[in-house]
């Protein structure tokens, strides 16, 4: 189940990173289940990346699958060290963000074919829906009408009944939604924006030490090309060939 990660370790010879200060021996991570990204059995692109970041430095990766909003609460209360899939500065209290993202979401707008095709500049004119806690209104211009939903079940029917003009989500999740429908040809997807994905660390001594380790390890892995085989193995676009290679945030 962890063939992608083991492939990278064999290529690199399991390098070790030296920490400037004592580190926890483990990191307890939480995440929503995103297929092939954070699978409950420990497989998936994100888990492979996290193991490659932390375990060569002597920090064992432990994880739990919980709903997204609950994962944030666990980290804010110090009951977990970090959660996956956050957008930069999505949460302001009890959280420490690293400088480096680990991946990027390609955000799509899903609609009926009969709905006018939107652009990033015009999307705010429409009635939108997305999963609770994703807060796309912070990252897309001019958003005023939106609803948050609890589950991805029934999204195609929601669009067919005219309860929303567009459903916004990452490309992999939109693909899952379309696979559940009997006639996906009735729908259209429109790319809107690419949003870097971050690990949100707890603002605790453990969390700060682990965030600093993450920011030491990521530029080494990216600039050496060590993460590229993971993205290839999971058939996902490699995000670090463009503007994500050099973070724009201060430490």
Which residues make up the CATH 3.40.190.10 domain(s) of the chain? 3-103+196-241, 105-194
> In this structure, which CATH number among 3.40.190.10, 1.20.140.10, 2.60.40.1840, 3.40.47.10 belongs to the domain 3-103+196-241?
3.40.190.10
Low-confidence ranges of the chain (pLDDT < 50): 1, 9-19, 245, 248-251
Among candidate residues 150, 146, 199, 228, the one with its CA nearest the CA of residue 38: 199
Give CA–CA dist 21/50, Å, rounded: 20
Which DSSP letter does residue 137 get?
G
Q: What's the pLDDT tens digit per position in 127-180?
A: 999 998 888 999 999 998 999 999 888 999 999 999 999 999 999 899 989 998
Among candidate residues 107, 125, 108, the one with its CA nearest the CA of residue 116: 125
The fourth-level CATH superfamily of domain 105-194 is: Periplasmic binding protein-like II (3.40.190.10)
| Strands 187-202, 103-112: pairing kind | antiparallel
Q: What's the pLDDT tens digit per position in 186-201?
A: 999 999 999 999 999 9
Q: Are 7 and 229 in contact (CB under 8 A)?
A: yes
Question: Taking the C-alpha atoms of 7, 22, 46 and 241 in order, what is their torsion angle to the nearest 10 degrees?
Answer: -80
Concatenated DSSP letters of 70-93: HHHHHHHTTSSSEEEEEPTTS--S
């Amino acid at each position: 189940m962890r063939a992608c990660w083991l492939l990278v370790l064999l290529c690199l010879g399991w390098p070790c990173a030296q920490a400037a200060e004592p580190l926890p021996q483990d990191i307890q991570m939480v995440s929503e289940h995103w297929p092939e990204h954070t699978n409950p059995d420990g497989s998936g692109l994100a888990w492979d990346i996290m193991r490659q970041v932390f375990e060569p430095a002597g920090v064992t990766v432990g994880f739990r699958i919980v709903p997204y909003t609950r994962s944030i609460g666990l980290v804010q209360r110090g009951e977990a060290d970090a959660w996956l899939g956050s957008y930069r500065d999505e949460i302001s209290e009890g959280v420490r963000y690293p400088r480096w993202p680990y991946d990027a979401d390609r955000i799509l707008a899903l609609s009926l074919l009969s709905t006018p095709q939107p652009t990033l500049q015009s999307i705010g004119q429409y009635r939108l829906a997305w999963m609770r806690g994703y807060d796309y209104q912070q990252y897309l211009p001019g958003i005023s009408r939106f609803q948050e939903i609890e589950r991805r079940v029934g999204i195609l029917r929601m669009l067919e009944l005219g309860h929303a003009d567009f459903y916004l989500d990452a490309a992999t999740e939109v693909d899952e939604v379309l696979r559940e429908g009997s006639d996906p040809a009735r729908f259209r997807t429109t790319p809107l924006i690419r949003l870097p994905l971050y690990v949100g660390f707890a603002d605790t001594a453990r969390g700060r030490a682990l965030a600093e380790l993450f920011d030491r390890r990521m530029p080494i892995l990216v600039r050496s090309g060590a993460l590229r085989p993971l993205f290839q193995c999971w058939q996902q676009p490699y995000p670090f060939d463009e503007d994500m290679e050099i973070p724009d945030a201060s430490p």
